[in-house]
Every structure is written in structure tokens, then in C-alpha cells.
Amino acid sequence: MADLNQEQWQEQLSKDDNALILDVRTEDEVAEGYIKKAKHIDIYLGQEFVEQIQALDKSKNYYVYCRSGGRSAQACAIMNELGFPNAYNLLGGFNEWQGTVENE
């Protein structure tokens, strides 16, 4: 797992053709807005979260965020344990996100 600040995350993501953005917040948090093209898997789902993560393509590079960076760091650690070599945590999370935000 690598912790990336906002600038590093956006710059690396913009150059990555093998990227997938992962939002691990709750449904209520996602309803407030999310990063464009993010796949939502709530980390609070417990075992279901693990099962949904295991179903993902391990060859992709995952850019993971939550509200402030704590849960996404946990998610990256879980992903590493499950054999995902490239999981990048967004330091400061969605609270500090400066990029484009989508709303449902």
C-alpha cells in the first residue's frame, strides 16, 4: 500500500491506463458526492466487503478513498493481504478532494 497526497494521487491516476477508483464509504456518504468513475464497496459490509474485493481484477491499480483516509488505508491493507499488489490510499480522503465531484 502507498499513501498518496491529493496531488500525487491525481497525477498518478491521470497517467494510469490500468486504474480503478474505489470508494469505501457508506451509502449516505456517497450520496453527498463521489469522485467520477468510482466503484463503491462499503468497507462496513464486513465479510461481504472482502468477498466483493476478492471478485475484483488483481492486475488493476486501485486508487482507494473514504471520507478522511482512515478506512481507505484499512481497505488497502486488506487488499494487499488478499493479493492486490497496487492499492493507493488517498491521504485526507474525500474531505480534502480538490478534483471533480459527481452527484447522483
Q: Which residues are catalytic?
A: 66
Question: Could you give the CA distance from residue 27 to residue 38 in angstroms, rounded to a whole number?
Answer: 13
Contact between 4 and 89 under an 8 Å Cβ cutoff? The reply is yes
Nearest C-alpha neighbor of 20 from the set 37, 45, 2, 1: 37
